Chain A
Amino acid sequence: MVLGLRRFTLRTRLCLIVAIILAPALILAGMLSLRSIAAERIHIEEGLGRTLSHLSVEIDREIQSTTALLVVLARSHYLQIDDLEGFHRYASEISNELGIQIVVHRPQLDKRVISTGVPWNETPELTMPAVRLEAEQQAIQTGKTVISDVFFGPVSQRLLVSAIMPVMRNGTAEYVLSIGIPIRKFSEILENAPPGEGRLAVVLDRSNTVVARSEKSELFAGTKVLSEFADRTSGTEGVLDHTNREGIPFHWVFRRLQRTGWLVTVGVKTAVLDASARTTFAYTATAGTTLFAVAIGLTFLLGGRLEHRFGTLGIDRRPTREEFALFFDSAPNGVVLVDHNGIVLLTNAPLERMFGYTQTDLLGQPVETLIPNQLRAAHVEHRQAFVRSPVPRVMGTERNLLGRRKDGSEFPIEVGLYPITIQTAQYIMATVIDITERSRAAKALSNALTERNRLRRHLMRSAEDERLRLSHELHDQTGQTLTAATLAAKEVENFVDADGRQRLTKLNALLDQMGRTLHKVAWELRPASIDELGLAAMLDNYVTDWSDQTGVAAEFYGKGEDIDNLPDEVRTTIYRVIQEALTNIAKHASEANQVSVVISRAGTVLQLTIDDNGDGFDLAEKLGTPSKYGSLGIPSMRERLSMIGGTLEIESSEGIGTTVFARIPIEPEEALL
């Protein structure tokens, strides 16, 4: 885990830790807010219940007061003495006072109905609405006051409910008294005690017809509620979720009134009920998220600061400005940044030390300040060329680039150039290395090599000179003496007898043998003909002799080339290389039957090409076995050639043969060597 975390920066780790701590806290807060949402819901439901109770009481009171009035009317003396006209007068006063309609009739006697809304003389014979009649039947049967369902009053021309009371005499209903209460009365109750925003109170009669509604009562009164709603509210009290008539989801509490059997119900829009939950949730979520974001943000910012104090450089944090400057100044090499015009913009301490300047000396100066006067013009051109085609490159490796210190002294440098483009501005960053030591070492090495070569060449020359001397000695001195000896022996022949002559013949044979050996040794040491006949003639002769000895057809091509006036060393080398190559062919190229030795001149290069059509060999294989390769005398050929600035190439391919390419520069200054 720790190792896993190490992959992240300190800042990231801190943020992770804060997130891990904060998340459970936020979840807890969420749970608490959910509980408070539940509490809020209960609170709303309790409010609904209170409203319901209040409304129930109000409605009961209205009914009760109406019933009370009925009792008063029933006991009035007009009815005791059957003075209906007096009763009409009396009832009309009350009805005008209370805004109700009082109706009385004698169900046993006639169909005449006396109503306060109609003058006494004009009392018509009215057909009672079925709802009204049904309630009256019930009242007559039970002998108790009955409250009818809602019906449309034919006299008052509005929706009413009737409180109906039979006036009993001797066990039968003498009169039936009723008071028509306009349902407006109930609407007013609801309107006077509004259930609140987003809430709705409804009163239904026993047949589920709307008696009153806290809103839009005029629209819905007298209409039936949905049968499903009616079914689900058949109990005495309860709770249900159902849409209202306008299709809006509501949460309802209801209670059935004992006296009337009516249903009082108060509902709150589910939206309102849930609104608090939603709001709470939204608040909690917003607050939680904000808190989380702020915490992480602060940790991030703080973490950034901590990183600088505790974090690992490069992994946890970037270097600060100061650190960067320190690194820049601690670079092992000098660094200078210039713009595309070569103006110095930035230097580091090593560069300043190297050139003996302070930073302020150089800023704004052309970079050519740092190089010697005689190189400046050329440098400007180089720099412009670099700006035109900026590819990273190193200067000063092949040609000697010099730097110039403030005090005017010069020293060898190597410069690396790196183009930098920031937006559209072009810059060049140059790293500068003081290569004084390197140059010195290189020079020392070069001197040592030169000296070594000089010694080798000297050694080789000495050996060659010695061979020449020995060859001459043997050939010219010993050889001549031997000739004289044979001639002397010949002279003696005249003075001796046959026996002596026989001995002389033996002596002559010995002398002849000696002469042959002498000649061979001298010739192998160094053919005198190189010097006496010229190299071309000698080589032609040499190749032919070689061909005779080996039986391999061989030809020298190049007699036309002017090689006789080459320096002695060059001529000797040519001879030795050809000698070595032909020896190789005789030794190794057993299949060869065609050999060419060619000397040609290409400009200032003398080319020596020796090829055979033997087996050839795999060069790589030969190189893999140095001893065998060495036996080909190739290193010695190469060595000899390198002494005079020449090169050696060998190409060999199996089945085709081997070609030795030796190239010798014969430029005048080379010739002087």
Chain B
Amino acid sequence: MKDKTRIVLADDHPIVLTGLRNLIESEPDFAVVGEATSGPEALKVIRDARPDIAIIDISMPGMSGIVLTRRLSEEAKDVKILMLTLHEDRAYLKQALDAGARGYVVKRSAAANLVSAVRSVIAGGIYIDPAIVHRVFSRSPVSNRVPMPEVRDLTDREVEVLRLSSLGLTNKEISHRIGVGVKSVETFKSRGLAKLEIQSRADLLRYASQVGWLADI
């Protein structure tokens, strides 16, 4: 029988903290070795207690869980971090993982999944709450495809219209600027985009920044 898994809890809501402690301690091989209700406090407790794993809330006074995680991955690399949060946005998940967290559990599924999450992370794995795991992989397959046909394939007009469009000018403004009708601007634009095989403004901007059209902004 090996030693109990040493755990620190950090959450600014005392009742949640209590509930967590009861949940953790109901597991015979888990032991809560410290608790904190703010970011700075948590940093101190974890540095002192050196637990195997710290369960951290993201929204905390003084220092957010994300920042705390970042600090800890520098100052206490051996402490594994598991995020426990109300946030279900992918952005948080991504930031948490980027900061060095090894697990991410949303609070509403804590009762069911926290224990297994702790075990997974202790075992060296990465745990992501099934409630949001689909979001990691569901990014729409839009871009990062970089179209790079040469500018020389375009006529001067097309280049000018695309350049001005990438700067954010409306078709009407472009029409005034270069002295052709709005319909012509639309035509130049769609022809230019077709030649470059660009389908969205985002891709156009990406292209524009590569060929230096945005340099003068």
Which positions 607-625 of chain A face chain B at CB distance < 8 Å? 607, 609, 611, 613
Q: Is the CB of B217 within 8 A of A529?
A: no
Distance, CA A426 to CA B202, complexed state (A) = 61
| A487-B20, A554-B142 as given contacts; A515 in contact with B107, CB under 8 Å | yes
Q: Which of B46-54, B75-83, B88-96, B154-162 contacts A (4 or more CB under 8 A)?
A: B88-96
A487 touches B217 (CB 8 A): no
B-contacting 9-mer, from A173-181, A458-466, A489-497: A489-497
Instruction: Report whether B217 and A653 are in contact in the complex, using a CB–CB cutoff of 8 Å.
Output: no
- Contact count A vs B, C-beta below 8 Å: 163
Do the beta carbons of A483 and B19 come within 8 Å of each other? yes
B134-190 contacts to A (CB < 8 Å): 135, 138-143, 167-168, 170-172, 186, 190
Whether A484 touches B18, Cβ cut-off 8 Å, given contacts A491-B23, A508-B112, A609-B168, is yes
Please name all residues of chain B whose beta carbon is closer than 8 Å to the beta carbon of A602 when the two chains form the complex: 167-168, 217
Query: Which residues of A have CB within 8 Å of B203?
Result: 596
Inter-chain contacts of B199 with A (CB < 8 A): 594, 613
Is the CB of B59 closer than 8 A to any CB of chain A? yes
Say if the beta carbon of A511 comes within 8 Å of chain B. yes
Q: Known interface pairs A491-B19, A554-B142, A596-B202. Does A486 touch B26 (Cβ–Cβ under 8 Å)?
A: no
Residue B92 contacts which of A482, A487, A529, A597 (CB distance < 8 angstroms)?
A: A529
A548 touches B202 (CB 8 A): no
Contacts known (A483-B110, A541-B90, A594-B200); A607 close to B168, Cβ less than 8 A: yes
B128 to chain A, nearest CB (A): 16
CB distance from B77 to the nearest CB of A (A): 24
Closest to B95 in A: A533
Which residues does chain B contribute within 8 Å of A659, judged by CB atoms?
170, 201
Contact with A along B1-39 (1 / 0, CB 8 A): 000000000010101101110110010000000000000
Which residues of chain A are within 8 angstroms of B195 by Cβ–Cβ distance?
A: none
Residues on A with beta carbons closer than 8 Å to the beta carbon of B170: 649, 651, 659, 661
Q: Is the CB of A601 within 8 A of B172?
A: no
Q: Is B211 an interface residue (CB 8 A)?
A: no
Q: Is A239 close to B, CB under 8 A?
A: no
Residues of A within 8 A of B217 (CB): 600-603
CB distance from A504 to the nearest CB of B (A): 10
Query: Could you tell me if B109 and A512 are in contact, using CB atoms closer than 8 angstroms?
Result: yes
Q: Which residue in chain B gives the minimum CB-CB distance to A516? A: B108
Count of interface residues, chain A, beta-carbon cutoff 8 Å: 61
| B92 neighbours in A (Cβ, 8 Å) | 529, 532-533
- Chain B, Cβ-Cβ closest to A504: B111
8 closest residue pairs by CB, A with B? A487-B19, A515-B108, A541-B91, A596-B201, A557-B202, A490-B111, A484-B15, A607-B168
Chain A residues packing against B (C-beta within 8 Å): 475-476, 479-491, 494, 508, 511-512, 515-516, 519, 523, 527-529, 532-533, 537-538, 540-541, 544-545, 547-548, 553-557, 594-598, 600-603, 607, 609, 611, 613, 649, 651, 653, 656, 659, 661, 663
21 A-B pairs (CB sep. < 8 Å): A482-B107, A486-B108, A487-B19, A487-B20, A490-B26, A490-B112, A491-B23, A516-B108, A519-B86, A519-B88, A527-B89, A529-B91, A533-B95, A537-B91, A538-B89, A557-B202, A594-B199, A600-B168, A600-B217, A601-B217, A661-B170
